[in-house]
Amino acid sequence: MITGSQPVETAVSDFFNVATQAAEQAFQFWDKVAARETSETDPAASVFADLKDTIQTFSEKLAEHPEVSLGKQILLQQKLMALYQKTTLRFLGQQTEPVAQPDEADRRFKDAEWNDNIVYDYIKQFYLIVSQFMLDLPKGIDGLSEHNIQQLDFFTRQFVNAYSPTNFPMTNPEVVRKTLETGGANLLEGMQRLTKDYEGSYGGLNVSMTDMSAFKVGTNVATTEGKVVYQNDLIQLIQYTPTTEKTFKTPLLVIPPFINKYYILDLREKNSFLKWLVDQGHTVFCISWVNPGPSLRDKGFENYMHEGPLAAIDVIEKITGEKQVNAIGYCLGGTLLATTLGYLKAKNDTRIKSATCMATLIDFRDPGEIGVFINETAIKALERQMNTLGYYDGRMMAFSFNMLRENDLFWSFFINNYLKGERPQAFDLLFWNSDGTNLPARMHSFYLRNMYLYNKLREPDGISLDGVGINLSKVDTPMYFVSTAQDHIAKWKTTYDGARLFKGDVRFVLGGSGHIAGIVNPPAANKYGYWTNTKLVADADAWYQNADKHEGSWWLDWQEWVKPKAGEQVAVRKPGDGPFKPLMDAPGDFVGKKIADVIHA
């Protein structure tokens, strides 16, 4: 740390020594990057090969219509000239209006120096003008497919955001100040953090988002009281301890996604969906999925159905004596629930009394920006990789999903951790987000091909499980769909199309916010609101235009919907009362297994 009492020579010498160490760390880091094996069969290489074809198509179409790019180039030059003139006037002491300003939601340029300092203001505006030109260039070009447009938009955005001046130490005023204050120690600390994070990554750079040491599953997250009452290769089934004097007769099964751990629904008591369900008088069971390693490579989607919800329903019947359950599925857990409904319908099995799908894709026609990674070439390369490993590494998935919101979920942490050299703050949601899981090779291949790539789940008998064709149009189970307006993973209009595939009574509700916050939205917070419309018309926009807006949480609406299906009030069922004796306390030990634990087991 440089202080005013230090001799200048000492300060300069210390700074030089720290800078030298940081440079050595940087060279060591790039040596590690260069040493990492890559090949043309890597999924990332396949994605970029597909992008190369898109760029070639775009270049050809652009050459056919030079007037489109010419008009945009003229506008670019006009804006740059105006920026130069106004910057010159500012140097002469005159006040001017900016040529370009960041969007209100863009937090990258919040530091006052970006406006007050003429040089930084010029850099900022120059960047905004040029990046907007690049993002606008593909617009208005005829002859491009939807996939072409999506790829160009996604990768252009990745490029312009990667080259933001905020991401470089010499053009970020906050980093410059930090470097001067610490004598460069922030850069040395940052390089050490970067090297450590890269060594723990797979298929990309998984930046540390939170202080992982600040949380422990079962201690300060996933703390709702209960017992693990059943276990097989894929699940531990948790039965939660009742908190009411009576409980609804029909038990409730919660099926979380198996691409993440279940405790997003049980982070803290004040926002725990599972605790809230228990407090409403439900007998709640929740699946905790295994974090699979190489030994589970041959588990398929049908295994997840049989050893997941179907096995859980069997156990719940033996514990409670009830032949039916109300079921909730979240994200991929909802996709599995819908598929299970189709399977049970084909067998005339009515054990699921009602079904709730939260932020669930069933019709995959528009999976959002994740679609840029979905094509035959990339999936084949990924299958070759999975066949070698036996699983799809959850760290690769986390990197892909984080790049869908790159400024918030990647570059902000890149700046904080590696340029400022600061420790990430403790945040339970980001702890969960960083606690990923793998997926078995066979299951993930089936899921990608049959749902994301070919969208077969929506087709009658489009997919079969154990020789049973899945036809969702025959499912007449009462269903509740809730999606969120800003969801970038399960876009609400696409989930709406999925809701319309079913034959029975379907209620669709649109919540505010995104994939996580809009679902985990406790009533006490009184946030976001939700929209309802009892008519499930053909067009999602028409549904929304005639929907009623309500304040608060959709949880209350769901509770009113499920009450008639939950049955009368009966004596509470405590874990261990039935034939299945507790194996261990909740949250169990499946949820504590990290990726590193299972891939080296």
- pLDDT, tens only, 152-210: 898 899 999 999 999 999 999 999 999 999 999 999 999 999 988 888 878 678 899 99
Tokens 């025959």 -> residue: 474
- Shortest CA distance to 275 belongs to which of 212, 229, 203, 222? 222
Q: What is the pLDDT of residue 114?
A: 97
Buried b (16+ CB within 10 A) or exposed e, 113-134: bbeeeeebbbbbbbbbbbbbbb
Active-site residue among 237, 287, 325, 331? 331
pLDDT mean over 358-372: 91
pLDDT digits (tens, 9 = 90+) for 68-127: 788 889 999 999 999 999 999 999 999 999 999 999 989 999 999 999 999 999 999 999
* pLDDT value at residue 510: 98
- Digit-coded pLDDT (tens) for 402-424: 888 899 989 999 999 999 999 99
Please give the helix or strand (H or E) that residue 253 lies within, else none: strand 252-255
Looking at residue 64, its pLDDT comes to: 84
- The count of C-alpha atoms lying within 13 angstroms of the C-alpha of 220, restricted to the half-sphere facing its C-beta, is 10
Q: Does domain 226-365+455-585 have CATH number 3.40.47.10?
A: no
Take residue 387 and report the two structure tokens written for it: 């066949």
d(CA 278, CA 497): 31
Task: Return the H-helix or E-strand segment holding 470.
Answer: none
Active site residue 357: no
Q: Tell me whether strands 352-358 and 325-330 are parallel, antiparallel or unpaired.
A: parallel
Give residue 242's Cα distance to chain centre.
31
Distance CA 518, CA 330 (A): 12
Query: pLDDT band at residue 61, thresholds of 50, 70 and 90?
Result: confident
DSSP bridge pairs for 465:
468
Backbone angles phi, psi at 76, to 5 degrees: -60, -45
Residue 325 pairs with which residues in a beta bridge?
Answer: 352
Q: How does DSSP classify residue 221?
A: B
In this predicted structure, which of 52-66, 408-422, 461-475 has the lowest mean pLDDT?
A: 52-66
| Mean pLDDT computed over every residue of the chain | 90
**Beta pairing partners, 248:** 569
Higher pLDDT among residues 68 and 260, named by residue: 260
Query: Can you state the angle between helices 376-389 and 43-64, rounded to 10 degrees?
Result: 170
Q: Tell me what pLDDT residue 27 has.
A: 46
- Strands lying side by side in the sheet with 530-532: 548-550, 530-532, 506-511, 479-484, 352-358, 325-330, 252-255, 284-289, 235-240, 226-231, 584-585
